[in-house]
Amino acid sequence: MFQEYINHPEQHQDIIVFEDVNVLIIKDSFPKALRHYLVIPKSPAITNVHPLDVFNRDYSDYTGEELYDLISQYVERAKKMVAEDLGKVLECEPSKVAEIKNTRIKVGIHSIPSLKNLHIHVITTDFHLSSMKNKKHYNSFNTKFFVEFEELNPEFNEQYLRAYNQNYDSDSADSEDGDDGHSQEFIRHVRNETTLHDIIKETPLKCLQCGEKFDFKFQRLKLHLETEVTEYYGSFGVDISTLSQEK
């Protein structure tokens, strides 16, 4: 699906919000929050690499570290675009736009991507749209199934992946001695697909903003999220229905 956008961006200008030689930034066609963008690198060399591996290898044009730094710039651009787009509707001051950017957006990938091409989610943390339909949708963004972009930094992963041949399924962190003799902490991402699906199914629901727990009662969580988003964005004096990315 995303390959079509990469190959023929001129045919998809309704959802593309930014494009250059390196990436597309698009609106998710099935957004799970008020703003849900995807950063999609164009390079054929990386588009089909698993997101947990993509920054832990070198390419002909850049090292994994250089690639991570490059994509980080686009992630920041997408976050700024999300915040500024909401800020425009809210008619709020720059300080509030910065608050949204720094506290109301999360960025990362799904450990089991739903679509083939590499894509990084940039999503507001309200999770308040009709397309957020069930516990699976919510937990896919709010458990270990969702890996924060910062945790993909090869500074924390590359040496561990190479040393263990990328065969690991723990979600804890280990420390090993680096070349300089200092302790280096590495992040272990869950890889086992059965375990990942169990995480989505068996993790009780919890509000990302306030921490309130809802066991497995999704409709109760939905009502709570509606209250939270109404209180936060309603404080700007707008009807939250005007904020939706959904068409």
Q: Which residues pair with 39 in a beta bridge?
A: 25, 120
Q: How many CA atoms does the CB half-sphere of 237 hold within 13 Å?
A: 3
Of 222, 204, 203, the residue nearest 213 (C-alpha):
204
Give CA–CA dist 80/156, Å, rounded. Answer: 25
Q: Which of 8, 36, 110, 119 is catalytic?
A: 119
The yes-or-no answer on residue 197 being catalytic is no
Question: pLDDT (tens digit, 9 = 90+) per residue, 185-221?
Answer: 678 888 899 999 999 999 999 999 899 999 999 999 9
- The Cα–Cα gap between 58 and 51 comes to 14
Check: CB of residue 32 under 8 Å from CB of residue 242.
no
pLDDT score, position 171: 45
pLDDT score for 165: 47
Q: What parts of the chain have a pLDDT lower than 70?
A: 158-185, 247
Q: Report whether 125 contacts 79 (CB < 8 A).
A: no
What would be the CATH architecture of the domain defined by 2-243?
A: 2-Layer Sandwich (3.30)
Instruction: Output the pLDDT for position 247.
Output: 57
Beta strands at 23-27 and 36-41: parallel, antiparallel or unpaired:
antiparallel
Which of 166, 71, 165 lies closest to 122 in space, CA to CA?
71
List of residues 6+ apart from 228 with CB closer than 8 A: 126, 128, 207, 209, 210
